[in-house]
Amino acid sequence: MAKPRILVTGGTGYIGSHTVVELINAGYKAVIIDNLSNSNKDALDGIEKITGLRPDFVEADCTDINSLTALFEKYDDIKGIINFAASKAVGESIEKPILYYRNNLNTLMNLLDLMPRFGVKGIVFSSSCTVYGEPDQNPVTEAAPIKKATSPYGNTKQISEEIITDVISSGAPFKSVILRYFNPVGAHPSALIGELPNGVPQNLIPYLTQTAMGIRKELSVFGNDYDTPDGSCIRDFINVVDLAKAHVIAVERMLEDKGEAPIEIFNLGTGVGLSVLELIAAFERATGVKVPHKIVGRRHGDIEKVWADPRHANEVLGWKATTSIEDTMRSAWKWQQHLRETGIM
C-alpha cells in the first residue's frame, strides 16, 4: 500500500533535509514548507540526487496561517507532520526573544490548530535535551525533571512541549511524538546535504570543520576547568542520519495507531558522553587533519555535562544510534570539503 504524505516544516534545514531523505527512502511522499531563513534550496537538489525524487516544496513561513491553510488545501493527503521549523541559536534568542517566541510558538500553534480540520493524525516535534538544563545525574532519562530554561530558545522548547500536552489533553484528535535531541552532528555520507550555518558558526562541529579547512584560525575550547575528567564539557554527539531515521519510525508509529499513549517522549542520543577535547581528538584520528585549538574561558550558559539514556527509544521504537563517532566525524569533514569544492564556502 502506498504510504501517505508527510509535511516536513523546516525541511530544507539541517535535520529536516536528512529526515526527508529517510522518509523518501522509506516510501513516504514528502512536502516541505520552509521560509529559507536559515537554509537554501540547494538542499532540494541534494535530496533529489540522493533519493532520485524531488520533494514538493512550498516557500512560505509557518507563522502565516493563510499560507499553511493553502498548503493543506492543495495537499489533501497529508497524514502526518514533522515540525522542524524553528529558530535555534541560543545566543541570538537572548538578544531577540520575541522573534524566538513568535517564530517557534506560532508555528507550532498554527499546525496544531489546522491538524483536525485537515485530518492530520500526528505530529513529531523536535525538542532538545536543553529541557533538562544541568541534569542532576547522567545519563538522563525522560523522567528527569525539567529545569528552568536558561534562554528563550530553551524556553520555547519547554513551552512547546506543554502546548502539545495541553492541546492533546483537551481531546484533540491526533497524536504526538516529542523527540529530545542531544547534540546532532555529521552529515549524509554522500556529502550532498549537511549543516550550513549562516555567518560565524556558534556550534562546535561547524566551527571545528571550518577551522580544519583554514577558514577559521583556531577553535576556542570554552573552558577546561569543569568537573569532568579532562575539564572540558561533555555532550552526547548523535549522528544526524541516525537521528533522521528515528523520525521515520516515530511517524510510522503515530500513523499505525496501535493504541499507544497519545503523547510519547523519547531521548535521542547515543548514550555515550564525549568531552569537547575528546571530540577534537576523534576528528583528528578519523580524518588525519589537525584542528588548531586553544583553551579559553567558559561560555556563559553552557551546561557542564549531559548525555542521554536512550533505552526508552531503543526498547519502544526499536531505534538505536549505530554510526561510530569516527564515521560521523569523517562525514562532517567530507561535507566541509564539498562546500569548498562547490565554492559555497
> Minimal distance in Å, beta carbon 221 to ligand UD1?
4
Which residue among 14, 100, 153, 207 is the active-site one?
153
**Do 312 and 142 form a contact (C-beta atoms < 8 A)?**
yes
Known active-site residue 132: no
> Minimal distance in Å, beta carbon 276 to ligand UD1?
5
> Minimal distance in Å, beta carbon 223 to ligand UD1?
7
Stretch that binds ligand UD1, among 16-24, 41-49, 202-210, 260-268 (CB under 6 A): 202-210
Using rule CB under 6 A, residue 88 touches ligand UD1:
yes
Using rule CB under 6 A, residue 183 touches ligand UD1:
yes
Using rule CB under 6 A, residue 154 touches ligand UD1:
yes
- Report the C-alpha gap between 284 and 281 in whole angstroms: 5
Using rule CB under 6 A, residue 101 touches ligand UD1:
no
Residues 267-296 close enough to bind ligand UD1 by CB under 6 A: 276
Cell of 72: 493543506
Task: Pick from 220, 224, 314, 337 the residue near ligand UD1 by CB under 6 A.
Answer: 220
Using rule CB under 6 A, residue 8 touches ligand UD1:
no
**Do 87 and 106 form a contact (C-beta atoms < 8 A)?**
no
Stretch that binds ligand UD1, among 98-106, 199-207, 262-270, 324-332 (CB under 6 A): 199-207
Secondary structure (3-state) at 315: helix
Using rule CB under 6 A, residue 212 touches ligand UD1:
no
The DSSP H or E segment spanning 125 is strand 122-128
Quick one: 24 or 131, whose CB is closer to ligand UD1?
A: 131
Using rule CB under 6 A, residue 187 touches ligand UD1:
no
Task: Pick from 36, 303, 327, 345 the residue near ligand UD1 by CB under 6 A.
Answer: 303
The DSSP H or E segment spanning 47 is helix 42-51
Using rule CB under 6 A, residue 299 touches ligand UD1:
yes
Quick one: 96 or 299, whose CB is closer to ligand UD1?
A: 299
Q: Which long-range contacts (CB under 8 A, 24 or more apart) does 217-220 make?
A: 217/292, 218/292, 218/293, 218/294, 219/280, 219/291, 219/292, 219/293, 219/294, 220/293, 220/294, 220/295, 220/296
Residue type, 30: A
**Do 233 and 299 form a contact (C-beta atoms < 8 A)?**
no
Of the candidates 7, 21, 8, the one whose C-alpha atom is nearest the C-alpha of residue 244 is 21
DSSP type of residue 140? B
> Minimal distance in Å, beta carbon 190 to ligand UD1?
23
- Counted residue by residue, the chain has a size of 345
The pair phi, psi for residue 240, each rounded to 5°, is -70, -30
**Do 82 and 120 form a contact (C-beta atoms < 8 A)?**
no
Task: Pick from 90, 111, 112, 123 the residue near ligand UD1 by CB under 6 A.
Answer: 90
Q: Which residue is nearest to ligand UD1 (CB)?
A: 233
Using rule CB under 6 A, residue 78 touches ligand UD1:
no
Residues involved in catalysis: 153
Residues forming the site for ligand UD1 (CB under 6 A) = 88, 90, 128, 130, 151, 154, 183, 202-204, 207, 219-222, 233, 235, 276, 299, 302-303
